[in-house]
Amino acid sequence: MTVKTYKGNSMAEALAQVKQELGPRAVILHTRSYKRGGVLGIGAKTIVEITAGLQPQSRQPAAAPAKKKSAAVAAARSNDSGAYDSVTATATAPRNTIRSAYGATTTPRINTEESASTRQLAASLLKEPSFELRNEISSLRTMVESLLQRTTSVAGQRTDLPEQLSKHYLQLIEQQVADELAYRIVEDLKAELPAEQLNNPVVVRDRLVAKLEGLLPANTAHTVARPATGVGCRTICLIGPTGVGKTTTIAKLAAAFKLRQRQKVGLITIDTYRIAAVDQLRTYANIIGVPLKVVLTPAELLAALKEMADCDTILIDTAGRSHADQLKLNELSSFIEIGKFSEVHLVLSSTTTQEGMEAALASFSKVRVDQIIFTKLDEAVSFGVLLNVARRASKALSYITTGQDVPDNIEVGQPRRLAKLILGEKL
């Protein structure tokens, strides 16, 4: 595989270079972003770097040379009937083993003393497979036909679909939507839309957006700009792996509630493992003008919640936990059980692999997960993975973040917004 690094001022620019030079067989191996230039960090430009390779074309294996006829078989045909029967019995032994596995009667060995009727019975048994075997063969045939239909393609597109559907199917696959899911979506559209509408790109795209939207659990309970309800204090706890952006997301939510809706907001942090995280949140709290409490134990958490009981919303930041660190997860669980929070949101980074997200989801679900927040969408290479994970979680998408700016770059997690991002809409 040929590997090369591409750089650009944005992810889109770097991806365009990869697509232009390597084409549709490009494989993304690694992405990162860093600052370059400026003085002491001031005026520095963000550079996006993509390492990509060119996947070699698979070569058609050479046809195996035809096997020569066995000398023993040739000799058997020229020998007497006894030798012929011996070879015949040996050749049919494997077939008898298969037939016995499916409940068929084993064919008796044929010899020169057998009557003509016995020979005819044996021949009929070999020609007509048992009922179970016929069903198995039929099932395998159906499976192979389905697989061939799904893999029939020219230049990466399915030739069994109308042009518009084929184009969108390829787009879903490029966005890393699960293959089974992409296949089901286009097959449903093919069955639902009449022929004249299948050739209308606007109609096909609108119906595809609606299909993707319907695959995501709707979030109708909350908004970023939530007005005070006067029915008690709302406590929102954010949990998740290390480095996914929990602290920055907490600051964005606090600013949105306090500055835009004039709510009374309080902040609590349990993240005492990283001094920088506490200092960062304290800086945000001072700028926004909200109180911050640092707690070390479940008892201190209860005291802080009681002290801030007159707030409209309390946001709780937690330390990042590895999905494999059961001890730290148990500690987090004790805080959540004591706090009895209104909502617990699992924060996942869009730059994480699907396997990494699903591993975090499995571990943190044992603690408690009510909704999901996807962060760093501005750094994501594709958005189909988010659809796969959200469906696996069966949890509503509460918020998405699209950058580092506070209080901006945060949106309510609307299924339609994610559907359009999968189909190429810009952030």
Chain segment 177-201, per-residue pLDDT in tens:
998 899 899 899 989 989 889 888 8
Q: What is the pLDDT of residue 44?
A: 73
Say how far apart CA 141 and CA 305 lie, in whole Å: 63
Q: What is the pLDDT of residue 144?
A: 66
Q: Which of 156, 421, 407, 190 is nearest to 284 (CA)?
A: 407
140: helix, strand or coil = helix
Q: Which of 203, 184, 183 is nearest to 193 (CA)?
A: 203
Confidence of residue 3 (pLDDT cuts 50, 70, 90): confident
What DSSP string describes 361-406?
HHHHHTT--SEEEEE-GGG-S-SHHHHHHHHHHT-EEEEEE-SS-S
Residue 325 backbone phi and psi in degrees, to 5: -90, 90
Residue 370 backbone phi and psi in degrees, to 5: -100, -40
Mean pLDDT score of the chain, rounded to an integer?
78
Encode pLDDT of 26-55 as tens digits: 877 778 877 777 665 566 788 888 888 876
In the predicted structure, residue 80 carries a pLDDT above the cut 50: no
Q: What is the pLDDT of residue 93?
A: 47
CB atoms within 10 A of CB 87: 16
- What letter does residue 24 receive in the DSSP assignment? G
Beta strand segments in 143-187, E: 153-154, 157-158
Confidence of residue 226 (pLDDT cuts 50, 70, 90): very low
Q: What is the pLDDT of residue 99?
A: 45
Pure H helices in 23-151: 71-78, 81-101, 116-127, 131-151
C-alpha dihedral, 339 to 344 to 392 to 385, nearest 10°: -140
Q: Which of 92-101, 158-167, 215-224 has the lowest mean pLDDT?
A: 92-101
Q: What percentage of the chain has pLDDT greater than the value 70? A: 70
In the predicted structure, residue 102 carries a pLDDT above the cut 70: no
The half-sphere exposure of 39 on its side-chain side, counting CA atoms within 13 A, is 0
- pTM, whole model, 2 decimals? 0.61
Residue 35: strand pairing partners: 46
Higher pLDDT, 110 or 206: 206
In the predicted structure, residue 229 carries a pLDDT above the cut 60: no
Confidence of residue 133 (pLDDT cuts 50, 70, 90): low
